[in-house]
Amino acid sequence: MDKRTKYRFADFTLENYRRLLELATAERFVFSEYLDYESSDRRIIWRHDVEFSVHRAYKMALIEHELGLKCHYFVQIHSEFYNTFERAIYDLLVRIRDLGHNIGLHFDAHFWEVKNLQQLEECLSRDKIALENLLEIPINSFSFHNTTPELLALNDLYYAGMLNVYGREIREKYRYCSDSTGFWRFERLEDVLQDASFQHLQVLTHDGMWQDVPMAPRRRVLRSIEGRAKNLIEYYDRCLAEFGQKNIDE
| Nearest-angstrom CA–CA distance, 202 and 66 | 21
Confidence of residue 41 (pLDDT cuts 50, 70, 90): confident
Q: What percent of the chain has pLDDT over 70?
A: 100
| Nearest-angstrom CA–CA distance, 235 and 148 | 37
Q: How many CA atoms lie within 13 A of 103 on its CB side?
A: 27
| Nearest-angstrom CA–CA distance, 57 and 40 | 30
Task: Tell which residue, 155, 142, 150, has the closest CA to residue 108.
Answer: 142
Sequence-separated contacts (24+) of 148-157 with Cβ below 8 Å: 151/109, 154/117, 154/120
**pLDDT value at residue 38:** 86
Confidence of residue 114 (pLDDT cuts 50, 70, 90): very high
- 12, 180 contact by CB (below 8 A): no
Residue 250 has pLDDT above 90, yes or no: no
What integer best gives the mean pLDDT of the chain?
96
The whole-number average pLDDT for the span 35-60 is 94
| Nearest-angstrom CA–CA distance, 245 and 64 | 42
| Nearest-angstrom CA–CA distance, 62 and 95 | 9
Using DSSP, how many helices (H) and how many strands (E) does the chain show?
Answer: 10, 9
The whole-number average pLDDT for the span 191-207 is 94
Residue 40 has pLDDT above 90, yes or no: no
**pLDDT value at residue 77:** 96
The single-letter DSSP state of residue 13 is B
The whole-number average pLDDT for the span 197-207 is 95
The whole-number average pLDDT for the span 95-102 is 98
| Nearest-angstrom CA–CA distance, 57 and 50 | 7
pTM metric for this prediction: 0.95
Q: What is the residue type of 191? A: D
| Nearest-angstrom CA–CA distance, 215 and 58 | 20
The whole-number average pLDDT for the span 171-185 is 94
